[in-house]
A and B are shown apart, each in its own frame.
Chain A
Amino acid sequence: MKRRSFLQTSAALSAPILINGIPINAVARNSFLDFVNPDNDKILVLIQLSGGSDGLNCVLPLDQYSNLDKARNKIIIKESLGLKLSDKTALHPSMSDVKSLYDSGNLSLIHSVGYPNQNRSHFRSTDIWTSGSAADKVITTGWLGRYYDSMHPSYPTGYPNSSNPDPLAITVGGGVSQTCQGPVVNFSLAINNPDILAPIPESEINTSIPNTNYGKELRYIMTTLQQYNDYSDVIKNGYGLGGGTIPATGNALLDRLNIVAQLINGGMKTKVYVVNLNGFDTHSNQCDPDDHELGTQADLLSQLSGAMKGFQDLLIKYNLDKRVIGMTFSEFGRRIKANDSTGTDHGSAAPLFLFGSCIKGGMIGQNPTISDNVGNDEGVAMQNDFRSVYASLLIDWFQLDSSLVKQLLYEDFQKLPIIEGCVTTSILEDSQRDFSLNLSSSPNPADQYTILSFDTKDEFIRIKLYDSIGSEIKEVYSGNVGQGHHELRLDTSSLHPGNYVVRISSRTAQMTKLLSVLN
């Protein structure tokens, strides 16, 4: 497979290169440290929703309801039962806990998060989300793995140590997380139940490890054993100091987040925790056919919602809420149209939640636009690139310099107003933000052409055209424009009839517009 060789090239880019036995980025590291705030004690908790979470039943666009009802009548949530966040937007009725987080200003709902050229494979799309890469680039390191690698290039050699006594990242209930995969080693440690952690007696170690595949794997296993033994007491102690076991709540996700809360409360310096909630691949029986507010998705969202709120409440009780934020993510949203199995197939963008006391509450972006003739394979068009969310967290939460973040994410991404207070944000003042690019298109539907009009500042902009499954058709424009109103003719005569999405983005804002093309 060509994929393999491609991958090696890309991995080589971030692997330490040795010159006279000294890793180059050991030198570079010092400069990296100039770009981070050494006193930053902020913690990020990722909640991975595996399977592809259906966003349109989770966050209901009330202003699109009639078209949405046409497309997914068999599964849609009743308009009157949605938990209203605003006149236009409501939550799934099982998410009352998330609504209360929103009402108290501790939840940010980012609309339609995804990436260009949506890949609808679970595995590839999960890789894209965890690696923080573009859809057409195969990157095998995780977005947080690269962050750790820039900070701790020699890990695990010499770890734990006095300045890093705790695991750098922890996953609770599952394997290590791909988000923390570095070029050589994964930076996360997997745990289940901290109470039963106990060192494994070690034998004499092998002192003549050959440089073969056998040797490579043996080193890996030896390291895993050593790390487990080194960290198991540390974690157990931290857990005990934090308060120890909280009785099972009946919500498995909350149980895992409670472990996270106890570890943080015990003084652990671990910066990233990852937990997983599986089961969102709702091709069938997403809801009860007779009562759409019940069923698989309702149960999952109820579990998620209760866990988010329960975790936040515990953090407040511990007075830790200003140090911790949580974020949900899923590999994709689902199709706008329902299928015949009371379910939905793989789609494109979906809403994403961030929560915590340091979150700037509210919504970012607008409801997705649903046309009155939704195609079978149509997903929700992306408004916000998921890497914008990552970049915002790295800069505003972990206080990394934007130049380092650009290096970690390969490109410059627009920063979103997610964090408020708690840390000093440096890069962009919120007052500078401008979400009114005022993109519009006429005629729409377009016959042979359409005129795109929009307003900009004196800045660099990019306009791209996507088809209804999120594949990039072409770049309509990219370059610097002056401040003011602009119009651009887009020739549609060579496009197949159907629905398209026009997306305009600048460094500070973005907007999408649905475009229908006629025969």
Chain B
Amino acid sequence: MDRRQLFQKLTQIDLAEDKKQAIPLGAGLNKYSGQWNYSTAAHLLRRAMFGPTHEQIKQAVTDGLDVTIAKLFTPTSLSTKPLHYTDIADPYVKKGETWVGQKYALGVQGLNQTRDNSLFSWIFQNIMNEGVSITEKMMLFWHNHFVVSEIFLANISYDYLTTIRKNVLGDFKQMTKDISINGAMLLYLNGNTNTNRAPNENYARELMELFTLGKGDLAGPGDYTTYTEQDILAIAKVLTGWITPQNRSTDSNGIASVLPTVAFNPNLHDASTKILSHRFTNAQISNDGANEYNNLIEIIFKKREAATFICTKLYRYFVYYNIDETIQADIIEGMADKLIANNFNVGIVLKELLSSDHFYSNEAFGALIRSPYDWAFNTMKALRMEVPSDYITAYNLFISIYRTLISQSQAYFDLPNVAGWPAYYQEPVFHEIWINSISYPLRYTMGQNIVNKRIGYRLNGQGNNNFGADVAEYALGFDTPENASLLVDQVVAHLLPQAITQAQKDFLKSKLLGPLTDAQWTNTWNTFKADPNRTQNRTAVEARLRPFLVSLTTMPEYQLS
């Protein structure tokens, strides 16, 4: 059998076999009681955070499951705010200071872009600097849930992130209330033009369909089981009156500026009593002005679907996309029970899910296709890319990486539509959408650039292209890097979710050795270890580690987590 035939035999999907496999979980959300080892710890950290290092995984093995979960869910706070980092003259913000809360001067060429870029870079910096924590993964989850896109007002976008972060591991109901009157959302789904004179139902519809209950089967004209068209019209009225005033002003120097905020204008609010459909037992919402949206969210969250819908999304994000009847009954419904019992505290439910037997079962292990962000941050963080200490360099570098990832179809504040990234909702392929004949070559190129330390940016015509993984430092973290076979084994365990074949390991080892023998590699390594600051020694090991790591990060297995 030649290579091609072999390949075809292997990739032919036997549906009947798949069916047999896909069944029982039994244990459901019971706590995982199996062995706790490097493989399980790596699985947990890969899913729950961006780019766990070998050292972090080893620590998690020592800590055990409960302590690691506690660490992941320890609330974090950010020590920085996004800074003005370019030479563009901002009348209200000096270079090196934050623009958060500061007026935005009109008519300054490039100012809007520089603030937006600063925000995106700052987000990337937060992800890169994060240790063992689930926070940034959850920030991305919520961004994909409460989608806003292309806001182009950095202050408003920043406020949105603050709103999300406030309950990032906590109260989903409160977050829904907050986001309903958040400036970015009011702009994105036209809540700010939703008035008693002319309701705009855009937000009301998505609030039901995409943010809380989900759309059920069509049960009758305009009746989607979970809610009806009548409800959308009524809910749009409840949400009337919220506006985003620009607060335009002109200072003593004649500079015009804006500082958009959120306000409630009672004159634009529909003061009538809103009547919901039988899907909400014909509940009535009487006029309550600026507090009315809270009453609405309370009514929506009395429905069980408010819990099952978000649990389904959490499951798809952290475990796997396929939800059959057994998973629905054993896992999703169990999560929903827990969520309702804990006043919609998402953190409690996630801790249980990530500690469950099911999460460590064969159904979950290695089955998640990495999103572009997960793939890129894993490659940079796990391979010990250093974050430049100088913020200007860091911001320029991160905005360049941000742009690279746009072409792989994932970007903060640039989502394809209000439903978020199709990988999290598009039947039947889901996560497979991330991998296609456009994205795979882009991952290959980016992986090469990270491993070969060739990512960078251009500034004032100057190229600065020497950022990326520190592969020598990376290898130093392992126990016996001087032994080529053992190094391959350990790197494979660190970076790939499941075991690979001996032939695959041999291939990777051949990439590591290149023209060297095992003994020559040992020598090369030991020479480096003896004097790691000598450039020549470092270059010699890097020259061998790089082809090995490029091969490994290009493997289909590395696209999985």
Contact = CB atoms under 8 A, between A and B. Distances in A.
Interface string B12-28: 11111110110000000
Given A117-B218, A157-B12, A217 B328 contact: no
Interface in A29-43: none
Interface string B526-561: 000000000000000000000000011011110110
B422 A225 contact: no
Interface residues of A, number: 90
Contact of B507 (A1, A135, A204, A226): A204
B369 A213 contact: no
B374 interface: no
Given A191-B438, A217-B432, A340 B198 contact: yes
B367 A190 contact: no
A214 B229 contact: no
Given A203-B504, A340-B195, A472-B221, A209 B10 contact: yes
A123 interface: yes
A173 B312 CA distance: 30
Contacts of B209: 121
B7 A222 contact: yes
A212 B419 contact: no
A7 interface: yes
Contacts of B554: 200-203
B140 interface: no
Interface string B185-202: 000011001010111111
Interface stretch (A8-16, A58-66, A257-265, A312-320): A8-16
Interface in B328-350: 328, 332
Contact of A224 (B3, B205, B436): B436
B37 interface: no
B129 interface: no
B218 A136 contact: yes
A121 B210 CA distance: 10
In the complex, which range does the number of interface residues on chain B fall in? Answer: 35 or more
A341 B217 contact: no
Interface stretch (B114-122, B170-178, B287-295, B494-502): B494-502
Contacts of B409: 175
A216 B369 CA distance: 11
Contacts of B201: 345
A206 interface: yes
A176 B367 contact: no
A102 B266 CA distance: 51
A184 B15 contact: yes
Contacts of A119: 218
Interface in B421-460: 422, 425-429, 431-433, 435-438, 440-441, 444
A76 B9 CA distance: 59
Given A157-B11, A219-B13, A228-B440, A340 B504 contact: no
B215 interface: yes
Contact of B190 (A51, A127, A175, A284): A284
B514 interface: no
Interface string A334-349: 0000011101011000
Given A219-B11, A226-B11, A340-B195, A207 B438 contact: no
A363 to B, nearest CB: 30
B555 A340 contact: no
A5 B324 contact: yes
Contact of A217 (B12, B367, B501, B507): B367
B431 A217 contact: yes
Interface stretch (B86-94, B100-108, B272-280, B358-366): B358-366
Interface string A476-509: 0000000000000000000000000000000000
A203 B507 contact: yes
A208 interface: yes
Interface string A448-471: 000000000000000000010101
B525 interface: no
A200 B554 CA distance: 8
A252 interface: no
B250 interface: no
Given A7-B427, A11-B428, A207 B503 contact: yes
A269 interface: no
B218 A377 contact: no
B75 interface: no
B427 to A, nearest CB: 5
A283 B15 contact: no
A221 B436 contact: no
18 contacts: A1-B328, A5-B324, A119-B218, A121-B209, A135-B218, A175-B422, A205-B7, A205-B10, A211-B18, A214-B362, A214-B367, A217-B367, A220-B435, A225-B556, A228-B441, A231-B437, A278-B416, A341-B193
The 6 A-B pairs with the shortest beta carbon distances in the complex, nearest first, are A340-B198, A471-B221, A213-B367, A204-B507, A221-B556, A214-B366
